[in-house]
Amino acid sequence: MPKIAPGVGPRRQCKKRTPVALWFMKRAALLVTFMSLVCGHARADERHAMTGLVLKVDPAARTMVVSTDKVPGFMEAMAMPFSVLRAAMLDGLKPGTTIAFTLVVDKDSSRAENIRVRGYENLEQKPLELRRLQLLNGLVAPASRASVLTDGQQVPEFVLIDQDRQRLAFSKLAGKVVVVTFTYIRCANPSYCFRLASNFSRLQKRFKDQVGRDVVLLTIVLDPEHDQKGALSEYARTWTSDSRAWHFLTGPLPEVKRVTHLFGVDFWADEGALLHSFNTAVIDRRGKLAANLEGNQFTPEQLGDLVKTVLDRR
């Protein structure tokens, strides 16, 4: 057996293993680096700016259901629940509220953060004048402000005349979900009257098997003085052929004003120009206000999601 010089054998053996050991060490280092990058990416939160219409709020479960707008490259518009970390984050939210928030998505869950109510931006041609008249009306007629319904309140009885010249009492609609909006027979602003009527037309199509039976649409006319020679009936035929499902209502101006004030709607004639605010109200089967949407920032699909949510209540 050959004699190994002291200190030579072990070093020679290490030199033989060094290339292999280095290869394994490099592979291990690369694997560790790769895994750390993958794990780091998996742990990184995705954040997406979201907007939508609140359909339901459940503080006890720390959730809200929102009909969202489309987020390009991430998700289509849809109604879905979102969780929050603390129930207090849902304070001030109610069905019909338009919100913006950040959706945080991690490996195992998602949550809504930074929830902000999106106040209605008045697109009226004379917004300052409209606001001035609203404030003045609140000062000289505070009772009209006090009479505005809040969510959960019972809608009082009213009787108006529809496009077929038939009397319609609100109490006759008990057991149905009622959706109410407002219009002028002569409306020059397509951002309001036409768009809100178009929303109802979409509802009529979406709930075609339920309108008239489970859902009733009411459009209250704000300029009854222009209902002459069948003008209201002709206007109604533009949008519907079923007057049992979609009623266009008119009546004496004082009664029209009383009803519109219940939903926070103000309107004035100002040197031939029409100054107005607009709301869309959803009333549940028990005749209580479920939601009151101000303006026209929501989509027809979001309004339909809200109506479906109220329809599905037990």
Q: How confident is the model at residue 170 (pLDDT cuts 50, 70, 90)?
A: very high
Cα R_g (the chain), whole angstroms: 31
Cβ-based neighbour number of residue 265 at 10 Å = 24
What are the structure tokens assigned to 309, written together?
Answer: 């949510």
Q: Residue 256 and residue 158: Cα distance in Å, rounded?
A: 9
283, β-bridge pairs: 178, 289
pLDDT of the residue at 297: 82
Phi, psi values for residue 131, rounded to 5°: -65, -40
Which residue shows structure tokens 């969202």?
68
| pLDDT above 60 for 23 | no
Which residue shows structure tokens 């959960």?
152
Q: How confident is the model at residue 127 (pLDDT cuts 50, 70, 90)?
A: very low
How far is C-alpha 150 from the geometric centre of its chain's CA atoms? 18
Which carries the bigger pLDDT value, residue 204 or residue 9?
Answer: 204
270, with CB counted inside 10 A (0-12, 13-18, 19+), is exposed
Q: Residue 112 and residue 87: Cα distance in Å, rounded?
A: 12
Q: Residue 183 and residue 172: Cα distance in Å, rounded?
A: 22
Write out the H or E segment, with its range, that includes residue 276.
Answer: strand 273-276
Q: Which of 45, 114, 40, 102 is nearest to 71 (CA)?
A: 102
CB 153 within 8 A of CB 288: yes
Per DSSP, the residues of 103-148 read EEE-SS-EEEEEEEE-------SSHHHHHHHHHHHHHH-HHHHHT-
Domains of the chain, start order: 46-117 (2.40.50.320), 127-311 (3.40.30.10)
pLDDT digits (tens, 9 = 90+) for 40-95: 444 468 999 999 999 999 999 999 999 999 999 999 999 999 999 999 999 999 99
The predicted model gives 128-144 an average pLDDT of: 49
**Which residues have CB under 8 Å from 104's CB, separation 6+?**
45, 46, 47, 110, 111, 112, 113
- Helix ranges, 127-240 (H): 127-140, 142-146, 195-206, 231-237
> What dihedral angle (degrees, nearest 10) is formed by the CA atoms of 79, 82, 88, 94?
0
Average pLDDT taken over every residue of the chain? 80
CB 181 within 8 A of CB 278: yes
pLDDT digits (tens, 9 = 90+) for 146-168: 589 999 999 999 999 999 999 99
Cβ-based neighbour number of residue 216 at 10 Å = 22
